[in-house]
Structure 1
Amino acid sequence: MTQIRPFCGLRPVPEYAAEIAALPYDVMDTEEARQILNKNPLSFLRVTKSEATMSDCIDPHSQAVYKMAKTNLDRYLSDGQMKKDTTPCYYIYRQQMGQHIQIGLVAAASVEEYRENIIKKHELTRHDKEQDRVNHILATEAQTGAVFLTYKGKPEINTYVLSLMGAKKPVYDFTSEDGVQHTLYVVENLMEIAELTRLFEDVPVMYIADGHHRSAAAMRVADELGKTPRHGSNEEYSTFLAVIFPDNMMQIMDYNRLVKDLNGLSMEEFLSRVGEKFEISELENGPKPEARHQFSMYLTGKWRRLTAKEGTFAADDVIGSLDVSILQDNLLAPLLGIKDPRTDERINFMGGIRGLDALAAKVDAGAYSVAFAMYPTSMEELIKVADAGKIMPPKSTWFEPKLRDAMVVHLIGEDE
């Protein structure tokens, strides 16, 4: 049984929503954030990448940066650009990117259910990234970025959410600079809130699609603040900000690989050894892989198709049969010497939203020697891994469209 709660969201007043709403902090570096802020000073990156509003030499993990995030958040309120809802609400968040539409419920999810694995994980987290989010939450007294959750879709939930959307007028409806349409509805009626809460009680488990560091940080913050509880077990810090989508609305794109060199091999030696584990063929229908266990490789200005040979992986192994594992175990590690893609500086990754031309351009520019285009991991594979209690290899999934920060912020401060 899944427990979700409404909450008093902090959000932009409608006339500022399009300017304030921002891409997540972790899809850009500080300089990119600085450039966005130069064009749009109202961007919520003032809070989520507050170092971009400070000196170039500032340590992005210094306490001064987290303090600035709080100052900048408070300024939105004092300037009247963001306001807090006066009663607990749910929020319906619709996104459209091209022909793809996904509709999620913004709610407060349970830290305890995350701890008990009712909210299931599929990735490892890094302590330094967790600590960054812990510091940010404690300093701002807010969860400014949502955890992207999914569940095995239920028609009755979909039907009810669509009926609410049909009966309400959206509070925001704008298209961001990347062409994604963002629409938000507020659910404040007590009977509607009760029905949504009841419907989700029939969802046995949920899965983290994106946001493992944010959810892990929320648990650590709850543990810290729970040492001196103020009002009992229903503190806002015992929950975390989430947007919850049915699995059949989710879109996973390819997450591609770039490697700086051929590990001392000549091109001929490299291709010969690749051919031991993969069938190599000329591409006839463009560079994108067309099925699982296929890869497209860009080397010396040319795309080639790689197809994993029989016996190179165990089909019944939920981890070993993933395409990211097949490439890692049969090529990246043994041929190119990439033993740990989490830490090896010779490998880089590029989300499929950038397109394969951008992947090839990195090789053509000389920054990398070879690139690999992947077939996207499926939601079915993600769920199987999480249900088995396993961990996916790093950089296995790239979800699009990205949730925009500041559509709704979850405050956990003392007056909440």
Structure 2
Amino acid sequence: MAKIVPFKAVRPARDKVSIVTSRSYDEYSPAELASQLDYNPFSFLHVLNPAYVNLQKISTDTRLKAVNLKYNEFKESEVLKTEKQPIFFLYEIQSKGNSYTGIIAGTSIEDYRNNVIKKHEDTLSYRVDYFKEYLSKTGFNTEPVLITYPEKKEITEWIVKKKKEHPLYLFSSLNKDRHILWRIKDSEEIAWVQEQFEAIDSLYIADGHHRSASANMLHEQESGTGNENLNYFMSFLIAETDLKIYEYNRIIRDLNKVTKEQFINALSNDFTIENKHQELWKPKNKFSFGMYLDGEFYALHLKETNFSSSYEALDAKILYDKVLRPMLGIIDLRNDERIEYIPGSKPITDIKKMVDEGKFEVGFMLCPPTINDIKELADNNLIMPPKSTYIEPKFRSGLVIYEL
């Protein structure tokens, strides 16, 4: 039984929403970031990155306090406004030909601990610690955890009906995405939505494992303070049929001191290899891998496909076990500087270009996991290898803010 709650959100003034909200801070190149901060005084990036010119010269504690000050400045000048009562939101993102619609709500720390909210990724302790400090010192979060649930007819029909109403916001962002936000403030409607989720046995984290772990850690640290908001964290709840799951492709800087011929010959022990020459080939089926090496694309088809568990049968795990670790000497997928990751939402010509320019020697393209792969692992308390999934939609910073 999943528990969701409305919350008293902070959001941009209606006339400024298109210029306040931003993509995730990490998605901006240095030049894009400088442009936004130099020419748009209303951008939420000013909150996320105050005094950006001196960012490397100040301590983390000083920076987080500056974030809090800038955030309150935005509230005092009414760039940001606080809702009068706890509510839900319905949010639609139209991006690159895809449409995603979900509910923005508070989800329960207790459900997270009791595995009603299930996980499929491991977390890094330093990142969890940092974001816990971020939440504690800034007092807010604007990046919800992306949570998916099994499609439910009643919720789907309600969403279709709700989207016919006049929205609070309707705007386009500079990357040509379209954003629509509706408020759900009627108490009976809120109670109905809560009842629908109470009938759902399990929710699944699609993206935001570090954020949810940080909220849990903060709750442990500050429980007993009487702050009810600490009992929940903001989530964007979307039906599993609406998720777009991409793979993370791998690019490697060298062949670990072997020649191309030796490498391909070693691959032939476990894979059937097809030379695709200049065809931009990408796998469409499990147990197949694309490879770009020395100006040519190859299709690698795994010969033996019987595995003892769903975890061992993951393509990312297979590539690691058969190629990356034994042949290329890459042990630590998170920290080895010889490997980098390209989300499957990017064209494979990006991989080709990086290899052709000599920055990397070989690239591997994978088939994305399915939602059933993710759920099966989560249901069995198993963890995917690092960088196994890149999941859309991505939430817009500064659109809806959860205060602690």
TM-score higher than 0.5 here?
yes
For normalisation by structure 1, the TM-score amounts to: 0.93
What's 1:91 paired with?
A: 89
What's 2:151 paired with?
A: 153
Q: Matches of 2:159 and 2:357 in 1, distance apart?
A: 48
Q: Matches of 2:246 and 2:337 in 1, distance apart?
A: 23
Unpaired segments ≥5 residues, structure 2? none
What's 1:109 paired with?
A: 107
Percent identity reads 31
Instruction: Answer with 36-45 or 186-195: which moved more.
Output: 36-45
| Matched AA of 2:191 | A
Distance 1:411 1:321, change over 3 A: same
Q: Matches of 1:143 and 1:243 in 2, distance apart?
A: 13
What's 2:344 paired with?
A: 352
**What secondary structure is seen at the aligned counterpart in 2 of 1:276?**
coil
* 1:27-65: CA deviation from partner (whole Å, max 9, x where unpaired): 4576764454335343222233x2662415335x61011
| Matched AA of 2:269 | E
**What secondary structure is seen at the aligned counterpart in 2 of 1:297?**
strand
Is 2:178 aligned against 1:181? yes
| Equivalence map 1:334-373=2 (5 Å) | 334-373=326-365
Q: Matches of 1:176 and 1:279 in 2, distance apart?
A: 45
Q: Matches of 2:26 and 2:121 in 1, distance apart?
A: 16
For normalisation by structure 2, the TM-score amounts to: 0.95
Q: Is the 8 A contact 1:353 1:400 kept in 2?
A: no
Number of matched pairs: 403
Instruction: Answer with 31-40 or 396-405: which moved more.
Output: 31-40
| Equivalence map 1:372-387=2 (5 Å) | 372-387=364-379
* 1:255-288: CA deviation from partner (whole Å, max 9, x where unpaired): 1101111000111111111111111112386322
Is 2:301 aligned against 1:307? yes
| Matched AA of 1:47 | V
Distance 1:70 1:369, change over 3 A: same
| Matched AA of 1:304 | Y
| Matched AA of 1:229 | T
**Of 202, 214, 219, which residue of structure 2 is paired with 1:217?**
214
Is 2:172 aligned against 1:169? no
Unpaired segments ≥5 residues, structure 1? none
Is 2:42 aligned against 1:46? no
Q: Matches of 2:30 and 2:374 in 1, distance apart?
A: 31
**What secondary structure is seen at the aligned counterpart in 2 of 1:304?**
strand
Distance 1:40 1:303, change over 3 A: farther
| Matched AA of 2:302 | A
**What secondary structure is seen at the aligned counterpart in 1 of 2:57?**
coil
Q: Matches of 1:278 and 1:73 in 2, distance apart?
A: 54
Is 2:18 aligned against 1:18? yes
Q: Matches of 2:34 and 2:132 in 1, distance apart?
A: 23
Is 2:285 aligned against 1:291? yes
Q: Is the 8 A contact 1:120 1:208 kept in 2?
A: yes
What's 1:37 paired with?
A: 37
What's 2:135 paired with?
A: 137
Distance 1:65 1:306, change over 3 A: same
Is 2:54 aligned against 1:55? yes
Runs of 4+ in 1 over 6 A off after TM superposition: none
* 1:82-133: CA deviation from partner (whole Å, max 9, x where unpaired): 1010111000011112332111100000011111111001111111111221
Is 2:399 aligned against 1:407? yes
Is 2:395 aligned against 1:396? no
**What secondary structure is seen at the aligned counterpart in 2 of 1:270?**
helix
Instruction: Answer with 275-284 or 359-368: which moved more.
Output: 275-284
| Matched AA of 1:58 | K
| Matched AA of 1:146 | P
Q: Matches of 1:52 and 1:28 in 2, distance apart?
A: 16
Q: Matches of 1:112 and 1:17 in 2, distance apart?
A: 33
**What secondary structure is seen at the aligned counterpart in 2 of 1:283?**
strand
Q: Is the 8 A contact 1:298 1:370 kept in 2?
A: yes
* 1:114-161: CA deviation from partner (whole Å, max 9, x where unpaired): 111110011111111112211111111112211000011111111112
| Matched AA of 1:287 | W
Instruction: Answer with 284-293 or 143-152: which moved more.
Output: 284-293
